[in-house]
Amino acid sequence: MKKSVLNEQDYYRKVFGGWLGKNIGGTLGGHDEGRTELLNLTFYPEIPDKPTANDDLDLQLVWLHVLEQYGARITSKELGQEWVEHVFFPFDEYGYSLTNLRYGLQAPVSGWFNNPFTDCMGSPIRSEIWAMVAPGAPGVAAYYAYQDAIVDHAGGEGVYGEMFFAAIESAAFLESDRDRLIQIGLAFIPEQCRIANAVKDILDCKTMGKSWIEARELIVSKYGNYNFTDAPQNVAFTILGWIYGDNFEDCILKAANCGYDTDCTAATLGAILGIIGGAESIPDRWVKPIGHSVVVSPQIKGFSVPADLDELTRRTLQVSNEVIAIWNIPVMIDSQCSTYVEEDNIRVPGAWIGDYNPRGLLEQNVRVNRYLLPEGAALNQGLEVTIDYGPEGPTVGMTERKKLIITLSNQSEEPWEGKLALEVPSSWSSEEAPNYQLQPYEKLVWETVVETGSDRQPFYELSFHIERFHDNSLWNSHTVRFILLSAGHWRLWGPDSTEHTEVVIPGNQISFSKLLGTEEPGTYKAKTMLVNPRKRNVRLIIGTPFPVKVHLNGEIVLEDHEMRDFIPGYHRSYMHRLFEMELPQGEHVLEIEAQKGKDPLELFVLPVAFTKTKTPGGNYYFTDILFGSVE
């Protein structure tokens, strides 16, 4: 395949322009983030002297560190490891995913399980790094975006949003036509996902001659969500600013003035425009107030942060060399030749550059974890092991039977044979594992059941052992370690009921209507034993829109008679829906009453840290607090 040429200086100015546009848009929109009305911004709402720290950029600095540390073959596994090491954000999907990762879960299960924010903007906002290290290769950029997004958005629209933007931004290094770029982005996400439909509706509004305000109203009416971070509405607002704006300034202002996740929409659009036009295309009046510095949130720590955009750009370009080589991207970076686009590399239909299309990844089951052997392998050329936890996810209650589906696939050119064994905690019981013989590309599916004991731990480590024989003798062995979490045990009462129902809850959300089989209005009750292993400050969030009353050890600790919109985030619950206290070590009887109206009753119970902690990074989830049976 003939290669396109990207002049080295053009590459530098486009990457620099992307990072600069990201900083400008994030600083413009940061002040009004979360406002859902139509805004009237004409410039920075507060004149800054440096960029505003923003997770939109923060997390991409972590991903740059990941690329520097692990190289171009990174997957969701390495990205998940870096979350735990360097990211101390409690925000929405970040908080839930980090909780799962701290338990020991891996992506995609870490991003799917017990996570009510999979459709949100946490991943679409961090797409630029993948485009910048894979210029002119939107399929490769979308692959990295997928690996990134499933860590905290698996199974949700957030995955599509990051793949969409990453593909656009990668293609923008060689293609400047706006409409074609949008079609390239759409080629990498499901045709009927909400993001794709919202983007197409914006394009139709423009074609029909509707104003940008009319287009915004359509998006709000069809896709508007009370959670301002919901991705479809915000991705659409980004595209709205792009197609209705006349220049850089007009574009980012229109995107931000749509409201909702304003820092994200303006920052992503600023980055896209900066990549297309380079740093010189961005007006000085937007650059001078913030300069070229890099400002990082205090919850991001533990690695070397670039001092300014020049260092950030140069480090980005440095890691791109390996990415381009590993993926055989048909783009040559040259210091002498002018930028030249090989049109045969930009194919329509299909609309991606090169031959790689990661759309097939979206068909993978998000409740399944995948392991490649030998351990540490980057390519699937040995033995692949998958573990399917089932619809309830990686949790199990006391004295409960749990079904697991373990699949072995021989992806090598040689037969594998030997013995299997599943090691479980000492008080558990399990079935005997079969021996195996696998010819090249053969598969073995083992459906097995484990039964737990009566001991309670926050999580349990299980080990799946694979012995490989050669000439009827043990040659070597491999072990896949995985985690099952303790489920919560609750007693539930429906309206006018004196009899309770014992339930096992796989996460933090209690769905009364589903569990009790009734939608009747009235007083619903839940009771559990909250087990706290040590004295500490605890914020206990009782999340529901309905009026609630909470007793702890027989005393009222929370009572609110009002209906309230509720977002189950660790960091942004209404004060009327939480209480804070120094919680003694030991067992505490927790009783919750909720006055259900006509809507389904969903209840989140979240024990998290106070906002202020010894070091930055409060409101994290207490993974060692249990919800146990009431005697």
Return the residue matching tokens 């902690």: 613
If asked whether residues 450 and 563 sit together in one domain, one would say: no
Within a domain: 621: yes
> Residue 297, SS3?
coil
Q: How many domains does the chain have?
A: 3
The reply to whether 454 and 340 lie within a common domain is: no
Same domain, 327 and 371: no
Judge if 403 and 541 occupy the same domain. no
Q: Alpha helices of 342-470 — where are they, by DSSP H? A: none
- Whether residue 132 is found in the same domain as residue 32: yes
| pLDDT for residue 352 | 46
Last residue of a domain, one of 471, 486, 501: 486
Mean pLDDT of all residues belonging to the chain: 95
Claim to verify: residue 61 and residue 121 sit in the same structural domain? yes
Q: Do both 315 and 387 map to the same domain?
A: no
Structure tokens given for 254: 């229109």
Whether residue 349 has pLDDT greater than 50: no
Residue 406: what pLDDT? 98
- In a shared domain, residues 481 and 492: no
pLDDT confidence of 2, banded at 50, 70, 90?
confident
Q: Which residues are annotated as a binding site for Mg(2+)?
A: 261, 263
Q: What is the CATH number of the domain that holds 259?
A: 1.10.4080.10
Grade residue 110 by pLDDT with cuts at 50, 70 and 90.
very high
What was the pLDDT predicted at 356? 74
Q: What local confidence, expressed as pLDDT, does residue 464 receive?
A: 98
Residue 253 covered by a domain: yes
Residue 357's pLDDT is 82
- Judge if 592 and 479 occupy the same domain: no
pLDDT at residue 574, rounded to an integer:
82
Tokens 């004409």: give the residue: 42
Same domain (yes/no): 292, 331: yes
Q: Answer yes or no: is 358 within a domain.
A: no
Looking at the predicted structure, is the pLDDT value of residue 610 above 70? yes
Residue 576 domain-assigned (yes or no): yes
pLDDT at 113 over 60: yes
| Annotated binding-site positions | 261, 263
Tens digits of per-residue pLDDT, 377-416?
888 999 999 999 999 999 999 999 999 999 999 999 999 9
Which pLDDT band holds residue 178 (cuts at 50, 70, 90)? Answer: very high
Are residues 451 and 332 part of one domain? no
362 assigned to some structural domain: no
CA 233 – CA 237 distance, rounded (Å): 6
User: 425: domain CATH number?
Assistant: 2.60.40.10
Segment holding 105, helix H or strand E? none
pTM to 2 decimal places = 0.97
Asked whether residue 92 is domain-assigned, the answer is: yes
Q: State whether 541 and 498 are in the same domain.
A: yes
What was the pLDDT predicted at 378?
87
pLDDT of residue 575: 87
User: What is the average per-residue pLDDT within 4-18?
Assistant: 97
> Each residue of 409-445: pLDDT tens digit?
999 999 999 999 999 999 999 999 999 999 999 999 9
Quick one: pLDDT at residue 496?
Answer: 80
Asked whether residue 460 is domain-assigned, the answer is yes
Q: Any alpha helices (H) in 305-365, and if so which ranges?
A: 309-326
Domain limits at 518?
A: 488-628
User: Looking at residues 222-244, what average pLDDT do you find?
Assistant: 97
Domain boundary among 319, 351, 383: 351
Mean pLDDT of 572-599: 95
Question: Closest Cα to residue 526, out of 499, 496, 553, 500?
Answer: 500
**Residue 351 confidence (pLDDT):** 43
Which tens digits make up the pLDDT trace of 520-554? 999 999 999 999 999 999 999 999 999 999 999 99
> Can you spell out the DSSP letters for 547-605?
-EEEEETTEEEEEE-S-------SS---GGGEEEEEEPSEEEEEEEEEEE-SS--EEEE
Last residue of a domain, one of 437, 471, 486: 486
Instruction: Confirm whether 583 is domain-assigned.
Output: yes
Q: Mean pLDDT throughout 590-613? A: 96
Q: What is the CATH number of the domain that holds 524?
A: 3.90.182.10
Banded pLDDT at 350 (limits 50, 70, 90): very low
Q: Report the phi/psi class of residue 399: left, alpha or beta, with left for phi > 0 and alpha for psi in -120 to 50.
A: left
